[in-house]
Amino acid sequence: MKNIFVYSIILVLTLKIFQYKTEKIDSYVYLSKSNHFNYNEIKNLIVFGDSHSGVLTNFKDMSYYGPKIQGNNWSLHLCDMHKMKLWSFAINASGVKKKGRNFRKQYNYFKRLMTKNKKFYNEWNSKSTIFGIWIGYVDVKNSNEIKKEEMTKSVQNEMFYIIENLYNNGAKNIILFNVLPCEKAAYNYHHNGALNRFENITNYFNDHLKEKSMSFVDKHLDINFIMFNVHDLINKVINNCEKYKFKDCKSAWIKNMNNNIEEYFWYDMTHLSCKANEIISKELNELLFSITKSS
């Protein structure tokens, strides 16, 4: 079904703020009037994140092993849909501040390979490239109700410190995903609601992520910034499982491998199936085209 986009516009100096409402979700878009966004000009997707985005990248030559058995993730789907080149710095099991595997480590790979005078610097520019950042799930999942405020402040300060560095190195088109609903993961279904306690933490984190995003763009009026509401999109699909042609949106296909993987929303206990990832990419792809028409 074709989505109908309804939006309200607020003009703030040289920034246009859109709240895009589709039949699935609300996403927040901050467009610069001085730096026109045109999705048709985007040829590169640079990605940071955890295993929801990872493609097992070789950080010597930026080649990657591609999809696992569950099929393409959102970044691979989106690159196929829009014919973009993928540069993925996402590392499985990463958090924003997790020891050993974190956002800063990924940024350091980017800095060594794609900033001025580095190996792949001439492969991209600010107009031809969009950055996708989907990270924070690990930080939220490792937190608790008592420490949610401390965790949120610490993690988001680090997150936007790195985003600031990306901006200073040419990132002028950025998509920031919020955290998916931990409590809806197949892990929760198989472990009798073990993740239910994370619903309040996730919502708190996502609410403050939106506020932090607005504060960031207020200081960077030449940036195009999309806060993509993947949290509500996943909830919407799960709550309307049959409508999206899944037979099971609770349990993991990996626990039911004799069945058709196309019938499952969850590939394993915490990761989406290829079909679920495609839904995310289609929604994002439509959003980016719609922004181009409206800007």
Average pLDDT over residues 147-176: 98
Whether the Cβ atoms of residue 150 and residue 167 lie closer than 8 Å to each other = no
* pLDDT tens digit sequence for 68-78: 667 899 999 99
Backbone angles phi, psi at 265, to 5 degrees: -75, -40
* pLDDT tens digit sequence for 57-66: 999 999 999 8
Per-residue model confidence (pLDDT) at position 4: 33
* pLDDT tens digit sequence for 80-108: 999 999 999 999 999 999 999 999 999 99
Q: CB count, 10 Å around CB of 222?
A: 13
Average pLDDT over residues 99-118: 98
- How many CA atoms lie less than 13 Å away from 242 in the CB half-sphere? 0
pLDDT over 50 (residue 9): no
pLDDT over 90 (residue 137): yes
Q: Are strands 129-134 and 6-12 parallel, antiparallel or unpaired?
A: unpaired
Lowest-confidence pick of 65-74, 155-164, 196-205, 271-280? 65-74
Per-residue model confidence (pLDDT) at position 16: 61
Nearest to 91 by CA among 135, 61, 152: 135
Per-residue model confidence (pLDDT) at position 49: 98
Whether the Cβ atoms of residue 227 and residue 174 lie closer than 8 Å to each other = no
Per-residue model confidence (pLDDT) at position 67: 73
- DSSP 8-state secondary structure symbol assigned to residue 98: -
pLDDT over 90 (residue 3): no
Q: Which residues 6+ apart lie within 8 Å of 293 measured at CB?
A: none
Per-residue model confidence (pLDDT) at position 194: 92
pLDDT over 60 (residue 8): no
**Helices and strands in the chain, H and E counts:** 8, 12
Name the residue ranges covered by the structural domains of the chain. Answer: 6-288
Domain 6-288: CATH architecture, name and number where available: 3-Layer(aba) Sandwich (3.40)
Placement of tokens 């009798």 in the chain: 192
pLDDT over 80 (residue 269): yes
- Residue 200 — very low, low, confident or very high, per pLDDT cuts 50/70/90? very high
Q: Using CA of residue 101, residue 107, residue 109, residue 110, what is the dihedral sign?
A: positive
